[in-house]
A and B are shown apart, each in its own frame.
Chain A
Amino acid sequence: MQTDNLELKKLVYLYLMNYAKSQPDMAIMAVNTFVKDCEDPNPLIRALAVRTMGCIRVDKITEYLCEPLRKCLKDEDPYVRKTAAVCVAKLHDINAQLVEDQGFLDTLKDLISDSNPMVVANAVAALSEIAESHPSSNLLDLNPQSINKLLTALNECTEWGQIFILDCLANYMPKDDREAQSICERVTPRLSHANSAVVLSAVKVLMKFMEMLSKDLDYYGTLLKKLAPPLVTLLSAEPELQYVALRNINLIVQKRPEILKHEMKVFFVKYNDPIYVKLEKLDIMIRLASQANIAQVLAELKEYATEVDVDFVRKAVRAIGRCAIKVEQSAERCVSTLLDLIQTKVNYVVQEAIVVIKDIFRKYPNKYESVIATLCENLDSLDEPEARAAMIWIVGEYAERIDNADELLESFLEGFHDESTQVQLQLLTAIVKLFLKKPTETQELVQQVLSLATQDSDNPDLRDRGYIYWRLLSTDPVAAKEVVLAEKPLISEETDLIEPTLLDELICHIGTLASVYHKPPGAFVEGGRGVVHKSLPPRTGSSESAESPDTAPAGVPAADQPSVIPTQGDLLGDLLNLDLGPPVSGPPVATSSVQMGAVDLLGGGLDSLMGDESEGLRSDVGGSPAMGGGSGGFAPAPGTAVPSNTGAPLGSGLGDLFDLTGGVGTLSGSYVAPKTVWLPAMKAKGLEISGTFSRQVGSISMDLVLTNKALQVMSDFAIQFNRNSFGLAPAAPLQVHAPLAPNQSVEISLPLNTVGSVMKMDPLNNLQVAVKNNIDVFYFSTLYPLHILFVEDGKMERQMFLATWKDIPNENETQFQIKDCSLNADSVSSKLQGSNIFTIAKRNVEGQDMLYQSLKLTNGIWVLAELRIQPSNPSFTDLELSLKCRAPEVSQYVYQAYETILKN
């Protein structure tokens, strides 16, 4: 190692790096040479030594590394400094504490003001990485001054350095639109850089800061125009980079369709493009398709449908269907193109075409049914479940126009058990539709399919759908007709859109892997690194209201919120997720008689609804009106629209009652904390839940605000609690009267009781909640304040209090301090009384007020308290609280309750 030959030295160092881990003791012996090399007159050797030392990941060595590193960070040679800056990041990866203790972070921050641009760039890179593992720390304290320095360095450093700096800039939040504009102005020249990564990172900064600019500004328009050419140029790069660029353009087109709306041609597929580039280009073409360019697009798509690659051809065929749905004027041409393709008889083309034609029928009812005959000719060649299901749907939907519909469906029925679930479900629905349309001839067929579905199938979804139809048909065929043949909601123009919250996050990750996968970093990065959620800055100025019409694709009125068709599977899932329904197993013991009656009523109704299936149809008489009524309140879903929330009509009446009591209760109710967000939209596919707990006149309730931040309508809400320490459970189902439209929110007060099953939680007041809607089931947990469990009859007799106080052993007494509370004894006492903490006696000892208090929890546990107040001494505002209880583990939470009540 002591050699003068630089190349040999490098090789020895390389050997050390690779084998130090397996032989740490040997590695220690090299330390001396490293330290010596760090003093070498040749800067290349100094840098080499410090670089290598950082790569030797042996704990013992790190201690020796600190001194040389400190020197190198202040070295006169920029080459050494830039290497040392990265070395800090290496050391932090091995031993974060050491780096903080040694003050390297501050030195690193100083390097941001270094005179050499490359040192600045490496320091920025190192700091960004360290900051990522400490999301809360304020390491990269970006302010206008440091931003200015970075922007200056941006002009001078290497291409890689520019990327580090731009990525770092993207995390900055300008304080106003002026600052955002000035940063944008200085970043735009980067769009002409030869390195695609520099361009994409610059695009990221611009896309993010553009959010803050008012749309009325001239500059905003100029910036939009400047963004298009560099994005197009990225497409002449090597195919791998094209792929990255296309994935990002896909996001940009969704966020700001106006940027590339005139650039359709560049996304035309070339014969020699790799398949991954082809598929991405196709996706973007569909997004950009509009009335103006549809003719060109269609001609291209037709060309693609004759290519070799099966995936690509399928996607092209599907794209034709999407064009038809998106641009109404083109629908006719699309349909005729699809028919041409069906004539080719290429198996997968035909199948794909039938799947998309089904959607076209949905979108434009009573327009293109003339083609059904052609479709029916190809019945035999369909072997994929999706195509078969689509075809069966078409036959069922238009049974009255197809003369031999019953024969067609019967032919499918023969191999019923070999079909996939998707086809089986569709077949069941289609035959029921057929029966409702032509009841006389098809009775036998429907009985056959119902018995196949209910008796011979193991699939619970299929069986239950079969039972529901069976019962509907036998009790009230008119209602069945209303439900099964209900009008279907429109389908949306845009499909495969990314959820807006996710899209905004991905825009902040332009250029990175997240934007390639179209997933948030948390989905593919392990541990806490880089999983910090990023979000776009909020729009400033008056442009908020102008936002939505502008971003909506041309020709689509903004008010038309797209609704996405739920697939049949989802719907059925909703129907059968009864386990998530309200748990109304036993009669509640709550004091309020109103609540008592309510739950009983509901329980009865539900029982009769969901009652034993084998009992047959008679027991359902009670339930069917509820079902019929329920369907009115819900958007009829395709196929089988039976509301899952059968209790809704009953529940809504009760909700009014509760509202009433709630209104009275506010006068004397206990303290209610402001609502906090429990479930962010990011984690729940667009559903945001915030809420709080309250107790009013003996009843506990959970006050929720549900906000829909997704694109699609949400419905079929239900809630369930996990077992918890005090047996909290919903006393009524979650009542959301109408489906929740996008960007709408609804306030709900959910009554709770404490008769649920009990399990000790840690912390004691932890509550785990599951909420379900038509999209998915989401889980979150929250802490409830204990005072909602303090019951109204918690006032103890004086004698009893004394006896109990003595009776509870001293080790069960816990002392707490409530700091900075300047209330006097009377106001404290009245404040606490509101939350059912009752003062039994008051004494004055040596100028201090002593309050003796009692409270009782819903599960019958008594807590006794002694509160010491010093009104005479204004500077001493702490209250002393001692609590005695037979179950001392609750004391801490009672103290927390005291604190919240007194401080608010």
Chain B
Amino acid sequence: MIGGLFIYNHKGEVLISRVYRDDIGRNAVDAFRVNVIHARQQVRSPVTNIARTSFFHVKRSNIWLAAVTKQNVNAAMVFEFLYKMCDVMTAYFGKISEENIKNNFVLIYELLDEILDFGYPQNSETGALKTFITQQGIKSQHQTKEEQSQITSQVTGQIGWRREGIKYRRNELFLDVLESVNLLMSPQGQVLSAHVSGRVVMKSYLSGMPECKFGMNDKIVIEKQGKGTADETGKSELGSGKQSIAIDDCTFHQCVRLSKFDSERSISFIPPDGEFELMRYRTTKDIILPFRVIPLVREVGRTKLEVKVVIKSNFKPSLLAQKIEVRIPTPLNTSGVQVICMKGKAKYKASENAIVWKIKRMAGMKESQISAEIELLPTNDKKKWARPPISMNFEVPFAPSGLKVRYLKVFEPKLNYSDHDVIKWVRYIGRSGIYETRC
């Protein structure tokens, strides 16, 4: 199991050091600094073995988090734990920075004590932790016995993510379907790979212990229902036709009953209070690609490049895409750039070796174009320019995978509010993931 956990700043100075096991000596802290943080070459693996001690590290801005072990631990678990640790710290004091860590070191030690025991990760749900690890150290005296046992049963219990007795005057919930479209396209416009990775984020303000059921236009579910109610053919065919989507795979927050999903493909759960990520999913079929990039690069002699890029928006004309940014890489030996664009603003950024073209808004089924002349310094470098792909960023108000929320039902048998009383909001946002076109 995890033998120790260190947090370093960018210089390699130790900010936090917590050793759980005896086999981790004091020199382990230095070994990591010397061999990884101060290493001459770029680190080639997130797992490093130094003198039979294994170091797992992740980096958040310029802070290094490293877990150490001498045993054959579950590597995936260690990384998951490190990410979780970051989440917990962010939830407690915001951005992970040197200053924040120094200001909260007592809290961090307290957290490390609680979520990792002898190197075994324990309950790490922020909601539960916040009930008994607070930044005001007075809470313990005021707790009644009931409160205490409530805390412990929540931390260890089946529903570790929600406490009992939550009350709201207005029962409300927000559903965000956040998708990122990833694309890799050849210069000829052939899709090399495309997938959508999506998340359903739910923010709930519901009283009691509500039982929720979530439904979407998942092909498997709709086909199943179509078979079950054959008499409603007209309606269900409409539903299963173009409207349903094939989900390649999905993963759920731990509150979702996985065995029920496996057998009935229904998503039922008791949500944590506040915001959480209900599910993640991935689709590869029938993706709506919001933009198409058509590049044209011509090398005119050894010292000049001509670049023309056309972008086409490919969605309903009534919808508006926002925050559009096209990044056209330029060679390292660029001396000057002239740009002409029909819409938006374009600038050559020498520090980033790219032309950045920004458009605030663009409606569907439109087209826009940029052309640039790049002047190059003559070099005697034999190596050709690697031509990195043109990348794009944008935000669209629909789900490129075609996913639709069909329902989210709430049942709370003990309290007197019904599904109709809950105010529900649904929002779809499609963003660009890695959206690249080779040129």
Contact residues of A with B, CB < 8 Å?
4-8, 10-11, 14, 41-45, 47, 51, 54-55, 57, 77-80, 82-83, 86-87, 89-90, 93, 116-119, 122, 125, 129, 155-156, 158-160, 163-164, 167, 186, 188-190, 192-197, 199-201, 229-230, 232-233, 236, 238-241, 243-245, 265-266, 268, 270-272, 275-276, 296, 299-300, 303, 306-308, 344-346, 509, 511-517, 521, 524-526, 529-530
Q: Chain B residues near A514 (CB, 8 Å)?
A: 72
Bound form: Cα–Cα A49–B56 in Å: 30
Contact A233 B251, CB 8 Å, known A43-B152, A57-B22: yes
For the residues of A in contact with B, the DSSP-based class is helix
Contact A241 B76, CB 8 Å, known A156-B158, A517-B49: yes
The 15 listed contacts between A and B (C-beta, < 8 Å) are: A44-B148, A44-B152, A51-B117, A116-B156, A125-B1, A195-B80, A230-B251, A238-B58, A240-B56, A240-B82, A241-B80, A306-B384, A513-B54, A517-B47, A530-B71
Bound form: Cα–Cα A8–B434 in Å: 48
Contact A243 B46, CB 8 Å, known A5-B137, A43-B152, A232-B282: yes
Say yes or no: is B296 at the interface (Cβ < 8 Å to chain A): no
Q: Chain A residues near B252 (CB, 8 Å)?
A: 192-194
Bound form: Cα–Cα A650–B280 in Å: 71
Contact A200 B76, CB 8 Å, known A10-B110, A42-B148, A192-B258: yes
1/0 per residue B71-113: CB within 8 Å of A?
1111111011111000000000000000000000010011001
Q: Chain A residues near B282 (CB, 8 Å)?
A: 229, 232-233, 236
Bound form: Cα–Cα A86–B114 in Å: 13
Find out whether the CB atom of A188 lies under 8 angstroms from the CB atom of B262. Answer: yes
Within 8 A of A (CB), among B219-264: 248-254, 257-259, 261-262
Contact A44 B80, CB 8 Å, known A192-B262, A271-B436, A530-B71: no
Find out whether the CB atom of B70 lies under 8 angstroms from the CB atom of A197. Answer: no
Within 8 A of A (CB), among B113-156: 113, 117-118, 120-125, 132, 137-141, 143, 145, 148-149, 151-153, 155-156
- Other 8 A-B pairs with CB < 8 A, given A243-B46, A306-B384: A45-B140, A159-B254, A229-B248, A233-B250, A236-B197, A236-B282, A271-B434, A524-B72
Q: Chain B residues near A78 (CB, 8 Å)?
A: 152-153, 156-157
Stretch of B365-373, B385-393, B398-406 at the chain-chain interface: B385-393
Which among A189, A192, A244 is the interface contact of B79 at CB below 8 angstroms? A244
Find out whether the CB atom of A513 lies under 8 angstroms from the CB atom of B258. Answer: no
Find out whether the CB atom of A275 lies under 8 angstroms from the CB atom of B44. Answer: yes
Q: Chain B residues near A243 (CB, 8 Å)?
A: 45-47
Which among A164, A200, A512 is the interface contact of B120 at CB below 8 angstroms? A164
Say yes or no: is B193 at the interface (Cβ < 8 Å to chain A): yes
Write the nearest CB–CB distance from A519 to chain B, whole angstroms. 9
Write the nearest CB–CB distance from B184 to chain A, whole angstroms. 7
Q: Chain A residues near B80 (CB, 8 Å)?
A: 159, 195-197, 241
Write the nearest CB–CB distance from B27 to chain A, whole angstroms. 15
B71, B383, B391, most chain A CB atoms within 10 A: B71
For the residues of B in contact with A, the DSSP-based class is mixed
Q: Chain B residues near A307 (CB, 8 Å)?
A: 386
Considering only CB atoms, which chain A residue lies closest to B161 in the complex? A158
Considering only CB atoms, which chain A residue lies closest to B136 in the complex? A7
Write the nearest CB–CB distance from A206 to chain B, whole angstroms. 13
Find out whether the CB atom of B151 lies under 8 angstroms from the CB atom of A511. Answer: no
Q: Chain B residues near A195 (CB, 8 Å)?
A: 80, 254
A45, A307, A516, A517, most chain B CB atoms within 10 A: A516
Find out whether the CB atom of B113 lies under 8 angstroms from the CB atom of A6. Answer: no
Contact A160 B124, CB 8 Å, known A78-B153, A239-B46, A268-B192: yes
Within 8 A of A (CB), among B6-56: 20-23, 42, 44-47, 49, 52, 54, 56
Find out whether the CB atom of B259 lies under 8 angstroms from the CB atom of A86. Answer: no
B76, B82, B106, most chain A CB atoms within 10 A: B76
Find out whether the CB atom of B49 lies under 8 angstroms from the CB atom of A240. Answer: no
Say yes or no: is B292 at the interface (Cβ < 8 Å to chain A): no
Say yes or no: is B312 at the interface (Cβ < 8 Å to chain A): no
Find out whether the CB atom of A83 lies under 8 angstroms from the CB atom of B145. Answer: no
Find out whether the CB atom of A238 lies under 8 angstroms from the CB atom of B83. Answer: yes
Which among B42, B156, B248 is the interface contact of A275 at CB below 8 angstroms? B42
Say yes or no: is B273 at the interface (Cβ < 8 Å to chain A): no
Find out whether the CB atom of A512 lies under 8 angstroms from the CB atom of B75. Answer: yes
Find out whether the CB atom of B258 lies under 8 angstroms from the CB atom of A511. Answer: no
Say yes or no: is B414 at the interface (Cβ < 8 Å to chain A): no
Considering only CB atoms, which chain A residue lies closest to B145 in the complex? A41
Say yes or no: is B203 at the interface (Cβ < 8 Å to chain A): no
Q: Chain A residues near B83 (CB, 8 Å)?
A: 238, 241
Q: Chain A residues near B138 (CB, 8 Å)?
A: 5
Bound form: Cα–Cα A158–B154 in Å: 11
Find out whether the CB atom of A192 lies under 8 angstroms from the CB atom of B251. Answer: yes
Write the nearest CB–CB distance from A67 to chain B, whole angstroms. 20
Find out whether the CB atom of A129 lies under 8 angstroms from the CB atom of B143. Answer: no
Find out whether the CB atom of A511 lies under 8 angstroms from the CB atom of B74. Answer: yes
Contact A158 B76, CB 8 Å, known A44-B151, A265-B193, A513-B54: no
Find out whether the CB atom of A196 lies under 8 angstroms from the CB atom of B117. Answer: no
Contact A155 B259, CB 8 Å, known A119-B156, A194-B280: yes
Q: Chain B residues near A54 (CB, 8 Å)?
A: 118
Q: Chain B residues near A163 (CB, 8 Å)?
A: 74, 77
Considering only CB atoms, which chain A residue lies closest to B260 in the complex? A189
Contact A155 B258, CB 8 Å, known A511-B75, A511-B76, A530-B71: yes
Q: Chain B residues near A517 (CB, 8 Å)?
A: 47, 49
In the A-B complex, the 4 residue pairs with the closest CB atoms: A7-B137, A229-B249, A79-B152, A6-B140
Find out whether the CB atom of B137 lies under 8 angstroms from the CB atom of A525. Answer: no
Bound form: Cα–Cα A41–B148 in Å: 9
A77, A232, A239, A241, most chain B CB atoms within 10 A: A241
Q: How many interface residues does B have (CB within 8 Å)?
A: 93
Q: Chain A residues near B169 (CB, 8 Å)?
A: none
Contact A346 B382, CB 8 Å, known A200-B76, A306-B387: yes
Considering only CB atoms, which chain A residue lies closest to B190 in the complex? A299
Bound form: Cα–Cα A113–B215 in Å: 36
Q: Chain A residues near B389 (CB, 8 Å)?
A: 271
Q: Chain B residues near A4 (CB, 8 Å)?
A: 140-141
Q: Chain B residues near A529 (CB, 8 Å)?
A: 71
Say yes or no: is B438 at the interface (Cβ < 8 Å to chain A): yes
Say yes or no: is B290 at the interface (Cβ < 8 Å to chain A): no
Bound form: Cα–Cα A306–B438 in Å: 12
Contact A14 B109, CB 8 Å, known A78-B157, A86-B120, A159-B254: yes
Find out whether the CB atom of A509 lies under 8 angstroms from the CB atom of B72. Answer: yes
Find out whether the CB atom of A241 lies under 8 angstroms from the CB atom of B79. Answer: yes
Considering only CB atoms, which chain B residue lies closest to A234 in the complex? B76
Considering only CB atoms, which chain B residue lies closest to A190 in the complex? B258
Q: Chain A residues near B277 (CB, 8 Å)?
A: 194
Q: Chain B residues near A276 (CB, 8 Å)?
A: 44-46
Considering only CB atoms, which chain B residue lies closest to A247 in the complex? B75
Write the nearest CB–CB distance from A883 to chain B, whole angstroms. 48
Bound form: Cα–Cα A276–B46 in Å: 8
Q: Chain A residues near B125 (CB, 8 Å)?
A: 158
Considering only CB atoms, which chain A residue lies closest to B57 in the complex? A240
Say yes or no: is B160 at the interface (Cβ < 8 Å to chain A): yes
Contact A122 B120, CB 8 Å, known A189-B259, A241-B80: yes
Find out whether the CB atom of A189 lies under 8 angstroms from the CB atom of B258. Answer: yes
Q: Chain A residues near B259 (CB, 8 Å)?
A: 155, 186, 189
Find out whether the CB atom of B76 lies under 8 angstroms from the CB atom of A197. Answer: yes
Q: Chain A residues near B139 (CB, 8 Å)?
A: 6
Find out whether the CB atom of A199 lies under 8 angstroms from the CB atom of B251. Answer: yes
Find out whether the CB atom of A525 lies under 8 angstroms from the CB atom of B72. Answer: yes
Q: Chain A residues near B52 (CB, 8 Å)?
A: 524-526
Which among B73, B153, B262 is the interface contact of A512 at CB below 8 angstroms? B73
Find out whether the CB atom of A90 lies under 8 angstroms from the CB atom of B434. Answer: no
Contact A160 B120, CB 8 Å, known A4-B141, A509-B72, A512-B73: yes
Find out whether the CB atom of B193 lies under 8 angstroms from the CB atom of A268. Answer: yes
Considering only CB atoms, which chain A residue lies closest to B128 in the complex? A158
Find out whether the CB atom of A233 lies under 8 angstroms from the CB atom of B249. Answer: yes
